[in-house]
Structure formats: C-alpha cells, structure tokens
Amino acid sequence: MANGDDNSRYFLKSLAKGLNVLQTLAESPNPMALAELSRIVGSNNATVTRICGTLSKLGFVRRDRQRRFHLTPKLLSLGYASMSGLGWRQVAEHYLEELAENTGETVNLSVLQDRELMYLVRINNTGRILPFDLQLGSRLPLHCTSMGKSLLAFADEAELARILKDYEFAPLTNHTITSEEDFRRELHKVRDRGYSLNDEELSYGLRSVSAPIRDLSGRAIAALNIAVPTKRVSLEDMETRLAPLAMETAERIQKALGSMENA
C-alpha cells in the first residue's frame, strides 16, 4: 500500500519509532506510563510495549514500580561521545574560560539543533543568579535569545527559510519579538553590528550579548554569549563593554579553528 514517493526502502521505521520513544521520554519532565507514551508517539500500545521491552532489555530504559518508563544514564555515554567528535568545541572552551574569567560573568556556547539552540558549553561564574538552571544539552528557543539571533543572522538563507517557515514566536515576556518581520529586521541589525542582544526577551531580569562563531564561508557554526542579571549590568554597559569582548573572543576562536582540518 503506497510506498509514497521516496527512498522508503532505506528508512527503518522501527528504529525511527524507537528513537522517537527515547526522545519523547527525554522531553517529558517526568516519567511516563505506557498509555500516555503510546498516545504521544502515536502508535499502538502493543507496539510501544515491544519498543520499550527492547529498550529496556538493552538498558536504555528502566521501568519503575508504578510501571512508568525512565531513561537511564546509559544514554550519557552516547551523548558525551558525540561531543568528543567536536574538536572545535574543546578549542572554543579554552577561550570561553578566559572570557568568563575576564568578565566574571556566565558564558555559554550553543549550536543550532533542529529549530532550537542547544547548549554545548556553560561556564557559570556567578553562583546561581540566573533564573534558569541550564545544563549542557538543554535547549532554548531561537527568537528570544541572543545566541539564537546570532546563529540565525549568520545562517545561510535556505536554513533560515526552513526554520522561519511556520515558526512560532511565542512571547515569553513583553519584550519578546513576536513577528517574523520584526525578527528579520532584528537579524539585519545583528548582521550589521556583528553581535546580538537579548534584553529581557526570554525572561525578566536577564540580559545577554552574543557573537557568532563563523566558518570560512561566513556561516555561523556556533554562537557564544555573556549572560548577566539586569540589576547588575546596564544595556549600555553590555553594548560598550561586553559586546566587543564577546566579538573579540569569537574572532579568536575562529582564528584558532582556521588552523584545524575541517570535517
């Protein structure tokens, strides 16, 4: 019945479903029972039973007394291994540490992942001031973060189009940009200045400056930022003092990366 259009012979559905189950569990804040899980992934629960049985026999998933499924830390090894492939990350980390030391602020690095950004490095200098407790691997929206703006301002047009297609500009504060026109205008500004700002657009009390880390073609492969509490650092201070530091660090990383072989 209808192999549709594509290279379907080369796509393993059960593998995709299994990974989808893992992702679903990862995205849910709390463990899930079978029924809920099959509802969300949209499969028959017999199927989900089989998937979870397999995952659990392989040790990626555990079932608690209330028959709910949890991910196990076995997945951690996979996650970390994936980073060691990212040679440039290590290089960047070095410079970020310097930046964190010089500014005394929290410094982050993230990459584009699907339609969000994902943290790859986080150096938290200021004990827990920020309203978010982010870890590596956690994700944030693109439209209301400085790194998101940097990543998109220097993405290629095709990628940008893909992401902005039906993008939902969810308002998280009343500073959040909520329309594509405004956002595109903002991206222009970012391209002009070479850095991007987030002034309480993600969360009240929080500002950040970000600069893109670009490859030789000018495309952003990552973005770094400096995040500060509003009460301690003014917007002007961000622009005059921190923005240049962020850009300078990004440039140094780019230089260092230039001398590496490319994937």
Partner DNA sequence: CAAGTCCTTTTCGCTATGCGTAAACAATAG
Partner DNA sequence: CTATTGTTTACGCATAGCGAAAAGGACTTG
Where do contacts with DNA occur on this chain (CB under 7 A)? 1, 3, 8-15, 17, 33-36, 43-47, 49-51, 67-68
Nearest to 29 by CA among 119, 170, 138: 138
Q: How far is the CB of 176 from a second copy (least distance, A)?
A: 23
Residues 202 and 172 sit within 8 Å (Cβ to Cβ): yes
Q: Does 114 bind a second copy (CB under 8 A)?
A: yes
**Helix count and strand count (H, E) for the chain:** 10, 9
- In Å, how far from its chain's centre is CA 237? 26
Rg (CA), the chain: 21
Q: Name the binder of 43 from DNA, a second copy, none, CB < 5-8 A by kind.
A: DNA
Residue 142 DSSP label:
S
Binding mask 166-195 vs a second copy (x if CB under 8 A, - otherwise)? Answer: ------------------------------
Q: What is the dihedral of CA 110, 128, 202, 150, to 10 degrees?
A: -30
Identity of the residue numbered 84 = S
Q: Name the binder of 45 from a second copy, DNA, none, CB < 5-8 A by kind.
A: DNA
Nearest to 167 by CA among 153, 183, 150: 183
Specify the residue, 23 or 102, whose C-beta has the smaller distance to a second copy: 23
Specify the residue, 82 or 125, whose C-beta has the smaller distance to a second copy: 82
| Residues of this chain, 4-63, that bind a second copy according to CB under 8 A | 7, 9-12, 14-19, 22-23, 25-27, 29, 31, 49-51, 53-55, 57-60, 62
Q: Name the binder of 82 from a second copy, DNA, none, CB < 5-8 A by kind.
A: a second copy
Q: Name the binder of 173 from a second copy, DNA, none, CB < 5-8 A by kind.
A: none
In terms of Cβ atoms closer than 10 Å to its own Cβ (0-12, 13-18, 19+), residue 237 is middle
| Residues of this chain, 74-93, that bind a second copy according to CB under 8 A | 74-86
CA distances from 19 to 34, 48, 247 (A): 16, 11, 38
**Which residues make up the interface to a second copy (CB under 8 A)?**
7, 9-12, 14-19, 22-23, 25-27, 29, 31, 49-51, 53-55, 57-60, 62, 64-65, 70-86, 111, 113-114, 118, 120, 135-139, 262-263
